[in-house]
Structure 1
Amino acid sequence: MNERTVTPGSVGVRYGIITGFISIIFSLILYVTGLHTNKAVTYIGMIIPIAGIVLAYNYFKKENNGYMSYGQGLGIGTLLATVSGVLSSIFAYIYLKFIDPNIIEQIRNSSIEEMERNGMSDEQIEAATSMTEKFTTPEMMFIFGLIGAVFLGFIFSLIIAAIMKRNRPEFE
């Protein structure tokens, strides 16, 4: 009996690596083109982990006779998001720290422009800017990027696993 089985862990890691590299390519394109300050474009990046989770679930189900429990789906998606988040956060850290540190200044300037458009006073902008500077270092962006990726991946997994689960019949 040479039946090939896949585990939620193996699928989560495999698709986490794939999703992470696609996220890195997307980030690189945003950095190089200067679109990293355009919030609408950066939100498009949310499609990447969603697509990664859906593809991972489909692969897992195909390899397991069409079945995937809710728990398996949640585990696959969360692991995928963690692996992907680690990879893309490491890339962002290296890029922002060593390759193009000016991007952080561009992000800060963009947020100041947005605050001005929203009618904030100079004092409010100054207070917000001093707080923002503490959180826009490559190190803090690494930490928040990783936490954000895992949290969003978990939320996406909760929803997508509920939709795509297909439990094995109890009396089979």
Structure 2
Amino acid sequence: MEENQPKTGKFSLNYGLILGAIGVIFGIMLYSMDAHYSQDPSNTVISILIMVGVIIWGIINFRKANEGFLTLSEALKLGAGIALVAGIITVIYT
């Protein structure tokens, strides 16, 4: 079973790229609506919901690829990896 286990790095990169692209699109959308400097809490809530949704989506798909098995350390590693890749993309965009 250990040989067929999927790697968290592949999932972190794929879903991090997805989250980064969605974040950049959201930023461009806010900029086009001239709302990128607004202190509206709805922008923050939407951004957090997008981030949590993509991270959970990545963790669920990792668990499906691992035949339904997932440890807490794998989930934490996967979530941190997704957030790291998305953060790097967002910093490069900014």
TM range, normalised to the smaller chain? Answer: 0.7 to 0.9
Which residue of structure 1 aligns with residue 68 of structure 2?
66
Which residue of structure 2 aligns with residue 9 of structure 1?
9
1:27 aligns with 2:27: yes
User: Tell me, which stretches of 5 or more residues in structure 2 are unaligned?
Assistant: none
Give the partner amino acid of 1:42.
N
Q: When the two structures are superposed, what TM-score results if normalisation uses the length of structure 1?
A: 0.49
Give the partner amino acid of 1:78.
A
Which residue of structure 2 aligns with residue 106 of structure 1?
none
Q: Distance in 2 between matches of 1:53 and 1:65?
A: 19
Q: Distance in 2 between matches of 1:20 and 1:70?
A: 24
Q: Distance in 2 between matches of 1:10 and 1:81?
A: 14
Asked whether the equivalents of residues 6 and 64 of structure 1 are also in contact (C-alpha less than 8 Å), the reply is yes
1:54-133 to structure 2, matched below 5 A, reads: 54-92=56-94
Which residue of structure 2 aligns with residue 18 of structure 1?
18
Q: When the two structures are superposed, what TM-score results if normalisation uses the length of structure 2?
A: 0.88
In the TM superposition, residue 4 of structure 1 has moved relative to its aligned partner by 6.0
Structure whose CA Rg is larger: 1
Structure having the higher helix fraction is 1
In the TM superposition, residue 38 of structure 1 has moved relative to its aligned partner by 3.6
Q: Which has the higher contact order (CA 8 A, sep 6+)?
A: 2
Q: Distance in 2 between matches of 1:33 and 1:4?
A: 47
User: Tell me, which stretches of 5 or more residues in structure 1 are unaligned?
Assistant: 93-172
3-state SS of the aligned residue for 2:28?
Answer: helix
> Taking every aligned residue pair, what percent have the same amino acid on both sides?
28
